[in-house]
Structure 1
Amino acid sequence: MMSYAEAIDYLFTRLPMFSRLGAAAYKKDLTNTILLCEALGNPQQHFKSIHIAGTNGKGSTSHMLAAILQTGGYKTGLYTSPHLKDFRERIKVNGDMCSEEFVVRFTERIQPLIESIEPSFFEITVAMAFCWFAEQQVDIAVIETGLGGRLDSTNIIRPELSIITNIGWDHMNMLGNTLPEIAGEKAGIIKKGIPVVIGEWLPETKPVFEQKYATVNEELAAKPTLVFASEERWVSDWTYEHHMISITIADKHTDNRQHFQLDLPGIYQHKNLITVLAAAHELEKQGWHCALPVIQEALKQVKKKTGLHGRWELIHQHPSVILDVGHNVDGIKAIREQLEHCNYQHLHIIIGMVKDKDIDAVLALLPKHASYHFTQAQIPRALDAMSLQQQAAAFELNGPVYTDVNTALQEVRTKAASDDLILVCGSVFLVGEVG
């Protein structure tokens, strides 16, 4: 029998892995996932689910919804990607990672099929998650897409609800070069007879969602709900203190106000919250226990209930060290907005990126007044730190190069004043390597 370390090594080295390789590992159809799940007895048909796509915010939205369902008393599966430290972070039930024994058992069981159909790493992890949720007999599982939606391996489920958080610029080499094209890929999770919640939308993306919804539900006399969350609620007030954000949400139709406290301190979470509230409302209409007191209790302890990390996460004080997985244009805009509400003497930014991002667009957004420290994650897809340093110089962002993030962090912490702020960002993989 394999050990857990051997099973993980086999999965990471044998299978094409998007996080390491990039586009070369992206499979453009669902054939392998369907074959894998059929061989496993179609586990995805043995539990209820919620499906979430979007450029940004889908991870936080997934974790908030999972926390709400757990607080409501449901045994809740949560599938997200990528992981930061431990592969098993991708597959959780009520906040607990799947067991090492299960990963080994699954890998050994599926090995002959891996050899014959050569699936990607993501395809295998999706099948693994579905098997764990079926085996654990979850009441419901929150399933986050990896890339896009239409051809994403997760898109073989028939959920209770489909959610698209927002559309922005990311993975253009695979999803399309215009926002309507990217929206079209995300809209691929909209299915016949299934209610849909759209979070943020733009004038050029809204018709894409409406058209897809109309097409798939054309034959139905009784149409499912299509909700544009920002047309239902708005943020009337918010405050940020003690690394918690307090938000007052107003109903656009009645002007009723409801107050929420989030343990996810990113100011950008107010956009995700509006989406989450629309989703919880839809679920409650279906009979799920998602009443206001449940939501309020859950949102105060999302990190504790689900183990979410890397979203404006404070890991050290004096100086403050913050980790944020923001890595594309919208993610960096959110970080900039957050920084405007922080008090610090001097800002140090430790940054590393991967090659397939729009690096110049990100560099153009970064604050000029910070000190920069360039590094790279230890994966083939990482942009080498020297190249990043050279590209950044064109935007008047200058600083030294470090071989890895922990060396950079150690040195910056030594030099920083106690009321400085050190931010690590630019790549999920870089944040994951902070030890």
Structure 2
Amino acid sequence: MTYQETLDYLFNKLPMFTRIGAAAFKKDLTNTIALCEALGNPHKQFKTIHVAGTNGKGSTSHMLAAVLQSAGYKTGLYTSPHLHDFRERIKVNGQMCEEAFVVDFTKRIIPFIETIEPSFFEITVAMAFDYFAQQQVDIAVIEVGLGGRLDSTNIITPELSVITNIGYDHMHMLGNTLALIAGEKVGIIKPNIPVVIGEYLPETKPVFIQKATLEHAPIVFAQDKRYVADFKNEHHQLAIDLAEHGSDIRHSYILDLPGIYQCKNLLTVIEAIHQLRLQGWQLDEAIVKKALYQVKKLTGLYGRWQLVHEHPSIIYDVAHNEDGIRQLTEQLELSTYQHLHIVMGMVKDKDISKVLQLMPKHASYYFSKAPIPRALEDVTLQQMAAEFGLTGKPYSTVNNALQAAVNASDKQDLIVVCGSIFIVAEATIDAIKF
């Protein structure tokens, strides 16, 4: 098979969550365990960090990977979903795995695919573990796909577990209360393995403590260790001063990820780094600061308040649930523009009303849909948005919507593309005429 034929096979043969939603989600780890056993249990051949959470787990994973590889460790990074290239999911020191590896792995695993009928995600997890073992990485940062307890990545025993936060997302699968959702996320906490919690709420803190106590896992709440003393967003960078509670000690960091929500992620990352240092990982502070200054360059992280064009300013952001959109609107309140244009689309299984009620009413909207079965129809989204005082037109493709926004914009305007990672993935700035 060629690389493209291999991708066609993987995308079309296997149940894929991005296409069909909950039907692709397997309720246990049996398939992943069987696949990895057939491959010689590659996940046991390298050290790992496991990162879960409703929002921020992607940014947190990339920041940790940037720091580790900058410190001289050969670092794997597994994340999902991808924006443009399937191989974005599996990287070593910021470089995507080779097309030839994807082809070879798929050929080797086809007999097992035919026998046990795994999901797309189960195969990609096994593929990542196999690649990291082949590459003999020192450590791999593994981002949870969905939830935690039943996620395919949860067969690893990491050096450190990280849970960024708990918010409302995938409620039809994880539960409709924060405590229930937290109950799924804490499934990654392992016996005697330290866990860093980025943010907690009154409803979620007892869930974290109960699970950590049960597993005899040392637990640290990042927000109780440090706080953001000051931050400044300028020149498409984010300067943050962190202070330690009960101390005059401050540390300054400059991130190339300018979204102000990265302040919360940085608190989590810095505490995770502290925990790794306690285990003997050599992570010099100067190297940490240098790495965080170039996360995008080192790891290829995109779609987080990403400026892709100026005059008018065009921002891509993968915010897609209630908490993510709330953070996006906070960012908009700090932004300067003449008029705001929002290109958005969503998938059907999100709490769409909760998102729409948060969106700014003064903006002009351009509703669209990604070319996946889960996508909400653009006309339906337009009608739902109208109930919340949001006005705009539907467009058959994301680029048509973006072009319309550009055509209606002055140079001092701001255009934001958001609502779904699949919407951001479809936006092609090179196809737009200015």
Give the SS at the match of 1:22: helix
Distance 1:263 1:326 in 2: 18
Q: Which residue of 1 aligns with 2:367?
A: 374
Q: Which consecutive residues of structure 2, in runs of 5 or more, have no partner in the other structure?
A: 429-434
**Deviation of residue 411 (structure 1)?**
2.0
Distance 1:417 1:319 in 2: 6
Q: Select the residue among 315, 332, 345 that pairs with 2:325.
A: 332
Amino acid at match of 1:246: A
Q: Select the residue among 314, 321, 327 that pairs with 1:321.
A: 314
Q: Which residue of 2 aligns with 1:52?
A: 51
- Over the matched positions of the two proteins, sequence identity in percent amounts to 66
- Provide the aligned length of Structure 1 versus Structure 2: 428
**Deviation of residue 290 (structure 1)?**
1.6
Amino acid at match of 1:172: M
Distance 1:212 1:253 in 2: 28
Contact (CA 8 Å) 1:234, 1:249: kept in 2 or not? Answer: yes
Distance 2:73 2:380 in 1: 48
Contact (CA 8 Å) 2:212, 2:218: kept in 1 or not? Answer: no
Contact (CA 8 Å) 1:4, 1:104: kept in 2 or not? Answer: yes
Distance 2:121 2:265 in 1: 25
Contact (CA 8 Å) 2:57, 2:164: kept in 1 or not? Answer: yes
The C-alpha deviation readout for 1:209-265, integer Å capped at 9, x for no partner, is: 111011112xxxxxx531000000000001110110100000113230100000000
Contact (CA 8 Å) 1:284, 1:291: kept in 2 or not? Answer: no
Distance 2:408 2:186 in 1: 48
Q: Which residue of 2 aligns with 1:353?
A: 346
**Deviation of residue 204 (structure 1)?**
1.0
Q: Which residue of 1 aligns with 2:142?
A: 143
1:364 paired to 2:353 = no
Distance 2:105 2:399 in 1: 34
The C-alpha deviation readout for 1:188-225, integer Å capped at 9, x for no partner, is: 000001011000000110110111011112xxxxxx53
Q: Select the residue among 328, 336, 341 that pairs with 1:343.
A: 336
Contact (CA 8 Å) 2:222, 2:268: kept in 1 or not? Answer: yes
Q: Select the residue among 371, 376, 381 that pairs with 1:383.
A: 376
Normalised by the length of structure 1, the TM-score is 0.98
Distance 1:248 1:240 in 2: 12
Q: Which residue of 2 aligns with 1:157?
A: 156
Give the SS at the match of 1:366: coil
After TM superposition, where is structure 1 displaced by more than 2 Å over at least 4 residues in a row?
Answer: none
Distance 1:386 1:400 in 2: 8
Amino acid at match of 2:38: A
Distance 1:138 1:162 in 2: 18
Residues 59-74 of structure 1 aligned to structure 2 (within 5 Å): 59-74=58-73
Q: Which residue of 2 aligns with 1:400?
A: 393
Residues 116-195 of structure 1 aligned to structure 2 (within 5 Å): 116-195=115-194
Distance 2:196 2:404 in 1: 45
The C-alpha deviation readout for 1:381-433, integer Å capped at 9, x for no partner, is: 00010100010010011111101111111122122101100000000011011
1:113 paired to 2:112 = yes
Q: Which consecutive residues of structure 1, in runs of 5 or more, have no partner in the other structure?
A: 218-223
Amino acid at match of 2:372: I
Amino acid at match of 2:393: P
Residues 263-278 of structure 1 aligned to structure 2 (within 5 Å): 263-278=256-271
1:419 paired to 2:412 = yes
Amino acid at match of 1:404: T
CA RMSD for the aligned pairs?
0.6
Amino acid at match of 1:300: Y
Q: Which residue of 1 aligns with 2:74?
A: 75
Q: Which residue of 1 aligns with 2:218?
A: 225
Q: Which residue of 1 aligns with 2:431?
A: none
Distance 1:146 1:378 in 2: 21
Distance 2:288 2:333 in 1: 29
Contact (CA 8 Å) 1:375, 1:408: kept in 2 or not? Answer: yes
The C-alpha deviation readout for 1:5-25, integer Å capped at 9, x for no partner, is: 000000000000001111111
Amino acid at match of 2:39: L
Distance 2:243 2:405 in 1: 43
Distance 1:44 1:185 in 2: 22
Amino acid at match of 1:285: L
Amino acid at match of 1:157: I
Give the SS at the match of 1:311: coil
Q: Which residue of 2 aligns with 1:220?
A: none
Amino acid at match of 1:189: I
Q: Which residue of 1 aligns with 2:432?
A: none
Give the SS at the match of 2:290: helix
